[in-house]
């Protein structure tokens, strides 16, 4: 049994940093401690365990880290945090048996009680573990320890594409095309395995010092050979880069959805910005019905040819996008050489609005309708206020005139 006399400050630091305790749950523990009074107050660790906010296994792990500053899962010793995705935390760890560095993805504690997210996490490990491609991050094994699911992966030294753009502002066109082509090779391999990645974005692509692009994070992968996962009540993916059909919650996504997301990622690489800005709901709506802002508006040195390719990749309708891997690869190589792509430009206005009837009965449509109604109500309130102010002004003027 874990030692629950752990000092509150140390417990709070470790539990929150390692993702075991959310700020909301920490606040709940502190409120309960304050309620009991100074003389009868229990340590925060004991309160968290008594209230089932943390499991005994979670507490054991926290105490282990707090006492030794080391966290281990199975035969892996954690060194540092590399990043955090939708399903879990990714650590740099040492595989003790082979004395090698690996990336260790550990399912976030908040998802341990969610059956769907547990299945999705294990699906990612199981599916990606069967894949082998030079532009994909390789998965080694999957296991369970200390109440957490985890899997180990190839550790790739190098920055993610979003870190590269943060540092440089935007990437040189030739470099961006190289990364896009390598990612496209990985996706072509994935598509041949009847999978759709569904989360292509700059932070999921790592570039090695040798210039090799590695695609990772298959947490939202859709695999036809696996059992159905997911709920119609929410959309999986990252709003900044998701296709219109993914944004409206369609289930029958295919490789053309990944082409759109790769197009949005390519846009980010050469401009330093995602295609659309705003709140998540605003970005989603723009993906569905807004024209793509010209990349040349953000990077005037770009040739028109690259705009043609991006417009084709990011057409609102999947039928208007590239239909073949080789066609897209051909056009990217042509642009890299300074030539014009063979694909015809998208007709003006043809693909600016996705087919909204495809998701009229989807829960997301009700959200958009509710937001629209809220805007109308606010607009009416402004009109009413103006009318009242005008009426008061006229009444005041009339009052002084009569005097």
Residues 273 and 298 sit within 8 Å (Cβ to Cβ): yes
* DSSP per-residue codes, 167-217: HHSS--HHHHHHHHHHHHHHHHHHHHTTEE-----GGGEEE-TT--EEE--
Residues 53 and 21 sit within 8 Å (Cβ to Cβ): yes
- At what angle are helices 173-192 and 255-271 packed, to 10 degrees? 160
Contacts 24+ apart (CB under 8 A), 235-238: 235/284, 235/364, 236/86, 236/198, 236/199, 237/198, 237/199, 237/261, 238/199, 238/201
Retrieve residue 329's tokens: 């690869």
Retrieve residue 341's tokens: 């792509």
Q: Exactly one of 178, 185, 199, 240 is catalytic; which is it?
A: 199
Catalytic residue check, 8: no
* CA angle centred on 175, ends 173 and 180, rounded to 5°: 90
Residues 280 and 306 sit within 8 Å (Cβ to Cβ): no
Q: What are φ and ψ of residue 111, in 5° steps? A: -100, -5
Distance of CA 381 to the CA centre of its chain: 36
Structure-token match 């899997």, residue found:
151
Residues 196 and 254 sit within 8 Å (Cβ to Cβ): yes
In terms of C-beta density within 10 A (0-12 exposed, 13-18 middle, 19 or more buried), how is residue 119 classed?
middle
Q: Is the dihedral of CA 320, 323, 327, 328 positive or negative?
A: positive
* CA angle centred on 217, ends 96 and 174, rounded to 5°: 110
Could you give the CA distance from residue 134 to residue 215 in angstroms, rounded to a whole number? Answer: 9
Q: Which residues are catalytic?
A: 199
């Amino acid at each position: 049994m874990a030692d629950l006399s752990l000092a509150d400050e140390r417990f709070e630091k470790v539990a929150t940093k390692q993702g075991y305790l959310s700020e909301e749950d920490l606040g709940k523990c502190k409120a309960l401690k304050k309620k009991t009074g100074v003389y009868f107050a229990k340590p925060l660790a004991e309160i968290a365990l008594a209230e089932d906010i943390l499991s005994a296994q979670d507490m054991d792990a926290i105490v282990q880290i707090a006492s030794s500053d080391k966290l281990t899962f199975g035969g892996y010793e954690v060194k540092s945090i590399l990043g955090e995705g939708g399903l879990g935390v990714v650590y740099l760890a040492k595989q003790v048996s082979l004395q090698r560095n690996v990336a260790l993805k550990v399912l976030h504690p908040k998802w341990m009680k969610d059956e769907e997210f547990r299945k999705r996490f294990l699906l990612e490990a199981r599916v990606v573990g069967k894949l082998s491609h030079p532009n994909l991050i390789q998965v080694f094994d999957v296991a369970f320890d200390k109440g957490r699911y985890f899997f180990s992966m190839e550790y790739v030294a190098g920055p993610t594409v979003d870190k590269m753009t943060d540092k440089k502002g935007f990437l040189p066109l030739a470099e961006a095309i190289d990364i896009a082509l390598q990612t496209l090779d990985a996706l072509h391999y994935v598509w041949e395995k009847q999978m759709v990645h569904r989360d292509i974005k700059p932070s999921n692509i790592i570039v090695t010092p040798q210039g090799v692009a590695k695609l990772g994070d298959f947490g939202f992968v859709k695999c036809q050979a696996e059992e159905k996962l997911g709920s119609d009540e929410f959309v999986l993916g990252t709003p900044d880069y998701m296709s219109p059909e993914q944004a409206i919650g369609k289930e029958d996504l295919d490789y053309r959805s990944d082409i759109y997301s790769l197009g949005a990622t390519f846009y980010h690489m050469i401009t330093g910005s995602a295609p659309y800005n705003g709140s998540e709901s605003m970005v989603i709506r723009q993906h569905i019905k807004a024209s793509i802002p010209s990349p040349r508006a953000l990077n005037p040195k770009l040739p028109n040819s690259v705009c043609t390719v991006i417009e084709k990749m990011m057409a609102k309708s999947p039928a208007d996008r590239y239909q073949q891997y080789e066609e897209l690869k051909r056009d990217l190589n042509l642009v890299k050489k300074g030539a014009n792509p063979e694909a015809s430009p998208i007709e003006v206005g043809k693909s600016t609005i996705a087919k909204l009837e495809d998701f009229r009965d989807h829960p997301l449509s009700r959200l958009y309708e509710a937001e629209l109604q809220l805007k109308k109500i606010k607009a009416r309130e402004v009109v009413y206020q103006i009318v009242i102010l005008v009426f008061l002004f006229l009444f005041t003027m009339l009052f002084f005139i009569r005097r």
